[in-house]
């Protein structure tokens, strides 16, 4: 029987959680479910396509507040507008992504009687929503029907937020990159050099700042390699300054966001993830799916559950930056090992398959046990 599902997220602009929600909406709509997707942001900012059958509502209520009183008033308006949409859709099952949006969704859905499944899309042990939002999360999360997280380590931490509710672990499916939109689609040319690729927001979380000194040393023994960091963010100026200080101007490129991510992988010999923390690490799974071996720090949480050490990449203990440099040195200098890892990488598409992912979500929507959901992913 078709389900009536309402998905809620802050925005569908560039980002991993945004891409994940758009993907869920397409999957559910494609099989005949009645799917609506609501954002606080306007539809004009969307970066990911939706199926024609998805009812799309953009509230257009995103904006900065100048003080705490204005923030309170703005959030009341957002909750009221969201509640009006949810009331029109009821009865339904509501699925909300990301901590602050989860709080607002639970407030907006209060009293409707509809199940509300909330999902953390990044490691909440390392992502600070702010004191006020932390207080609100503690008081609203117990009203959810269930929580969904991406990794087992996060599950145990999240139990404290709603002790009486189940916490399900549903890793994202591994898939080849899908096209997003990136105005201007910058080109990048590195001549005939081998490409070491990194990808993500230019933000301290992603750890690109601590990758650069190691690459400055590696280029001396591997002059035929070039580091390309795809992404955009507030750290651009700081990273560009650091690149200049380290003498890497001719060895590191920051092209910004590009729409054709699959092409970027096809041009790359090796992928690196130096993050301080992750929600899951979708980009790691995408690299493997495209046959690109990965060197990753085993940061919390996700990459170490995706990459199989010495099978399709190398996993280095979190915060072991010398170890990361040694792992890169090893693979940059060994084409045969890269080829061996690359051949095994696409197995990730079966290990974290679309079919298993949707089966796990169906089990959550049906109210089955945590162990039932876990068993779906087990070999």
Helix/strand/coil for 182: coil
Shared-domain flag, residues 138 and 22? yes
Shared-domain flag, residues 201 and 345? yes
Long-range CB contacts for residues 136-143, cutoff 8 Å, separation at least 24: 136/103, 137/99, 137/102, 137/103, 137/161, 140/102, 140/103, 140/106, 140/107, 141/102, 141/103, 141/106, 143/106, 143/110, 143/116
What's the CATH number where 75 sits?
Answer: 3.40.50.2000
Shared-domain flag, residues 336 and 366? no
Our CA dihedral for 102, 233, 180, 352, rounded to 10 degrees, sits at -60
| Each residue's pLDDT tens digit, 58-107 | 999 998 888 888 988 999 999 999 999 999 999 999 999 999 999 999 99
- % of the chain beyond a pLDDT of 70: 97
Is residue 357's pLDDT more than 80? yes
Q: How many domains does the chain contain in total? A: 2
Preceding omega of 301 cis (within 30 degrees of 0) = yes
Tokens describing residue 61: 């209520």
Shared-domain flag, residues 325 and 362? no
| Band of pLDDT at residue 179, cut at 50, 70 and 90 | low
Domain span holding position 152: 4-173+353-377
| Band of pLDDT at residue 248, cut at 50, 70 and 90 | very high
- Global pTM value: 0.84
Is residue 14's pLDDT more than 90? no
Q: Any alpha helices (H) in the chain, and if so which ranges? A: 16-30, 68-89, 99-109, 131-140, 152-158, 208-221, 236-245, 261-266, 282-289, 303-306, 321-332, 335-344, 348-351, 354-365, 370-377
């Amino acid at each position: 029987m078709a389900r009536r599902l309402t998905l809620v997220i802050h925005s569908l602009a560039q980002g991993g959680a945004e891409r994940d929600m758009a993907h869920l909406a397409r999957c559910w709509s494609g099989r005949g479910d009645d799917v609506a997707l609501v954002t606080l942001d306007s539809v004009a900012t969307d970066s990911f396509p939706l199926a024609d059958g998805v009812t799309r509502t953009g509230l257009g209520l995103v904006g900065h507040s100048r003080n705490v009183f204005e923030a309170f008033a703005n959030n009341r308006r957002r909750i009221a507008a969201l509640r009006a949409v949810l009331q029109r859709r009821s009865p339904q099952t509501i699925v909300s992504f990301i901590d602050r949006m989860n709080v607002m969704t639970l407030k907006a859905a209060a009293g409707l009687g509809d199940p509300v499944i909330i999902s953390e899309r990044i490691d909440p042990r390392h992502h600070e929503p702010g004191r006020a939002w932390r207080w609100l999360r503690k008081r609203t999360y117990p009203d959810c029907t269930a929580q969904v997280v991406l990794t087992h380590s996060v599950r145990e931490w999240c139990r404290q937020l709603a002790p009486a509710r189940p916490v399900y672990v549903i890793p994202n499916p591994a898939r080849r990159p899908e096209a997003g939109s990136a105005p201007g689609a910058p080109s990048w040319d590195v001549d005939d050099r081998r490409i070491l690729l990194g990808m993500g927001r230019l933000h301290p979380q992603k750890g690109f700042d601590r990758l650069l000194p190691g690459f400055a040393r590696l280029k001396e023994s591997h002059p035929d390699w070039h580091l390309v960091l795809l992404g955009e963010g507030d750290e651009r100026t700081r990273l560009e300054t650091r690149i200049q200080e380290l003498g890497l101007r001719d060895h590191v490129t920051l092209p910004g966001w590009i729409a054709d991510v699959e092409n970027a992988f096809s041009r790359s010999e090796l992928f690196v993830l130096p993050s301080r923390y992750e929600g899951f690490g979708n980009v790691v799974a995408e690299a493997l799916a495209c046959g690109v071996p990965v060197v990753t720090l085993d940061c919390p949480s996700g990459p170490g559950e995706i990459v199989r050490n010495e099978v399709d990449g190398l996993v280095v203990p979190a915060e072991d930056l010398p170890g990361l440099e040694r792992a890169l040195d090893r693979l940059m200098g060994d084409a045969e090992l890269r080829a061996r890892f690359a051949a095994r990488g696409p197995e990730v598409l079966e290990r974290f398959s679309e079919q298993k992912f949707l089966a796990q979500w169906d089990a959550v929507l049906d109210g089955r046990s945590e162990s039932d959901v876990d068993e779906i992913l087990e070999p």
